[in-house]
């Protein structure tokens, strides 16, 4: 199938395929839209079953980055890169340097960063061949803690701010005594748990691995829940912080939470799920709005900014969501659809 006929093709500006014979690198970079600025987005390495799957991923993810950057108020567009291969077996330093050369061919219209399968050290290797890399250092953090380039603390703080805005909208209250279920206690989930517990929320946590769950139980008084039960728990907020497709045809009818607000990307299996949530009176915080803390952090590290400006920018996630919720109430449209429309007004 050609790129232009692909179902995920959405007026992308530039899609490029690259093969480096010496290192075996096979990669695709897609820049979706640069009206607001260069396309920023992570580089993912994954053992794709075929090139069709890789193309689908890079087209969908790069488009998502345009919407995320626009709604976060960044002078930045959307782009993404994918590398074919198993990051544990196939990755070599030479391959990462070759990837840097590929990134450089975009002359700054694509800026790369970490994503699944790609570590900060890999981005540093790419940085030997191109200056168009990000997320390799931090000048400051939003809360004064030691900054190490990891965007997860900023992402978690943004999700926390977003959950507060959603709870305020639905219950007209703060987080004290609110029951919140977190699915996925990884880099973001554990930090989110800390913020929420500090504000008096009652936490329920589930993960396929025990480390994060044990920490949340020991340090934040969370209750451990079976992974199979977390989606349908009788709580006020369900926070998906694991993988995509968290809300789907299989679980939508068993969700009891009044609010869905978490860090995971691509939470809704389809746009009709978003409509259904609205019809069922469940408030959904659009994923790319609430989880934009990481990209906001990277943006501030790249520009002339400071910790105070970064924190203020992260707090705006709550204000943006409040605007989306109000517009959804007024129009009856799903929050995800309202967010898309507002983003398009900014970048189109
Ligand atoms: P992570 O890999 O550190 O954590 C994800 C956790 O989810 C892991 O502990 C994993 O064991 C768990 N998990 C996986 N499948 C699960 C399942 N079926 N049920 C329960 N738990 C499961 O990733 P992260 O950095 O914490 O990111 C979490 C989510 O937020 C991801 O979807 C990511 O794409 C998204 N996100 C992260 C950032 C960031 O700055 N890290 C930014 C934007 C979006």
pLDDT tens across 109-145, in order?
999 998 889 998 999 999 999 999 998 877 888 888 8
Sheet strands side by side (includes 237-240): 223-224, 202-206, 179-183, 237-240, 259-260, 283-284
Question: Rounded to two decimals, what is the model's pTM?
Answer: 0.93
CA of 183 to the centre of ligand 1 (A): 9
Residue intervals in the chain for CATH 3.40.50.720 = 152-347
Rounded to 5 degrees, φ, ψ at 280 are -85, 5
Domain 3-62+77-126 has CATH 3.10.310.40: no
What are the residue ranges in the chain where pLDDT is below 70?
Answer: 1
Q: Ligand 1, atom 8: nearest CA belongs to which residue?
A: 186
> In this predicted structure, what is the pLDDT of residue 304?
85
Q: pLDDT (tens digit, 9 = 90+) per residue, 62-86?
A: 999 999 999 999 999 999 999 999 9
Looking at 2.40.50.140, 3.40.50.720, 3.20.20.140, 2.10.109.10, the CATH number of the domain 152-347 comes to: 3.40.50.720
CA of 260 to the centre of ligand 1 (A): 16
Q: 178-217 burial, b if ≥16 CB within 10 A, otherwise e?
A: bbbbbbbbebbbbbbbbbbbeeebbbbbbbeeeebbebbb
CA of 59 to the centre of ligand 1 (A): 21
> In this predicted structure, what is the pLDDT of residue 1?
64
> In this predicted structure, what is the pLDDT of residue 244?
84
**179-183 and 202-206: which strand pairing?**
parallel
Are residues 201 and 259 in contact, defined by beta-carbon separation less than 8 angstroms?
Answer: no
Q: Ligand 1, atom 1: nearest CA belongs to which residue?
A: 186
Residue intervals in the chain for CATH 3.40.50.10860 = 3-62+77-126
Are residues 42 and 94 in contact, defined by beta-carbon separation less than 8 angstroms?
Answer: no
Question: Which among 151, 187, 231 is the best mutation to test ligand 1's pocket, defined by most ligand atoms within 8 Å of the CB?
Answer: 187
Cβ 264 under 6 angstroms from ligand 1: yes
Mark whether 80 is an active-site residue: yes
């Amino acid at each position: 199938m050609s790129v232009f006929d692909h179902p995920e093709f959405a007026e992308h500006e530039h899609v490029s395929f690259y093969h480096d014979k010496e290192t075996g690198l096979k990669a695709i970079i897609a820049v979706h839209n640069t009206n607001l600025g260069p396309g920023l987005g992570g580089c993912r390495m994954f053992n794709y079953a075929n090139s069709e799957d890789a193309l689908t991923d890079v087209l969908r993810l790069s488009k998502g980055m345009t919407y995320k950057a626009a709604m976060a108020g960044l002078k930045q567009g959307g782009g993404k890169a994918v590398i074919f291969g198993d990051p544990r077996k196939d990755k070599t330093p030479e391959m990462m340097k070759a990837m840097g050369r590929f990134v450089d061919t975009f002359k700054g219209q694509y800026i790369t960063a970490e994503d699944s399968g790609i570590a900060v050290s890999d981005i540093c290797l790419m940085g030997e061949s191109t200056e168009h890399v990000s997320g390799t250092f931090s000048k400051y953090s939003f809360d004064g803690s030691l900054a190490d380039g990891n965007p997860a603390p900023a992402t978690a703080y943004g999700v926390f701010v977003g959950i507060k805005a959603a709870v305020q909208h639905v219950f007209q209250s703060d987080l004290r005594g609110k029951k919140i279920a977190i699915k996925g206690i990884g880099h973001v989930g554990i930090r989110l748990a800390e913020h929420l517990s500090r504000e008096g929320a009652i936490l329920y946590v589930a993960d396929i691995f025990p480390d994060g769950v044990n920490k949340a139980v020991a340090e934040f008084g969370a209750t451990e829940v079976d992974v199979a039960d977390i989606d349908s728990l009788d709580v006020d907020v369900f926070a998906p912080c694991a993988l995509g497709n968290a809300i789907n045809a299989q679980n939508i009818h068993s969700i009891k939470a009044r609010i869905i607000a978490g860090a995971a990307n691509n939470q809704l299996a389809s746009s009709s799920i978003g409509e259904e949530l609205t019809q069922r009176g469940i408030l959904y915080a659009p994923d790319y709005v609430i989880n934009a803390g990481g990209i906001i952090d990277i943006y501030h590290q790249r520009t002339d900014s400071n910790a105070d400006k970064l924190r203020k920018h992260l707090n705006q996630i709550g204000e943006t969501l409040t605007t989306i919720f109000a517009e959804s109430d007024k129009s009856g449209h799903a929050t995800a659809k309202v967010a898309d429309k507002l983003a398009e007004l900014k970048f189109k």
